[in-house]
Every structure is written in structure tokens, then in C-alpha cells.
Amino acid sequence: MIEQTVIAITGVIAIWLTQDTRSEWRRYACLFGLAGQPFWIYSLWGTEQWGMFVVSVFYTAAWARGFWVHWWRRE
């Protein structure tokens, strides 16, 4: 139950922030997205929902790319 709550909260905040008009707020979307991914992977591990598990891994890669672009990369 706790992981479902964390997934819902971090997911909604991440998606909401991706649509913000302020770029300084949009950059936080990847942080909330990444914060929820361990809970996704934990909740899917052992359920034999391999398609969702693979999608979750790709979402992790996409949020990690956002982290790289908005927080790590030097311009």
C-alpha cells in the first residue's frame, strides 16, 4: 500500500511539472519521476508482469535522461 501511494504522488507531481510553463519548475519533473521508479520496480518484481516491468525500466531511463539534461550536463 505504501509503494502505491508513493507511486501515485511522485507520478502525478512529475507529470504535472512536465507541463509547467516555467522552465525552472519543469526541471524538477525528472527528480520526482526518478524518486518513484524504485517503487514501481519493487511493486512489479515478482508479479510476472514483464511488459510493465520493461516499460518501468524504460521510464527510469527517460527520467535519468532528464536528470542528465537538466541537472548534470554542463553547457
* pLDDT tens sequence across 38-51: 999 999 988 989 99
| Average pLDDT of the chain to the nearest whole number | 94
- The answer to whether residues 29 and 21 touch, using CB atoms and an 8 Å cutoff, is no
Tens of pLDDT, residue by residue over 50-72, are: 999 999 999 999 999 999 999 99
- Please name the residues in contact with 13: beta carbons below 8 A apart, sequence gap of 6 or more: 29, 32
Residue from 59, 66, 60, 73 nearest 26 by CA: 66
Given a cut of 80, whether residue 75 has pLDDT beyond it is no
pLDDT of residue 51: 95
Confidence of residue 1 (pLDDT cuts 50, 70, 90): confident
More confident residue, 28 or 1: 28
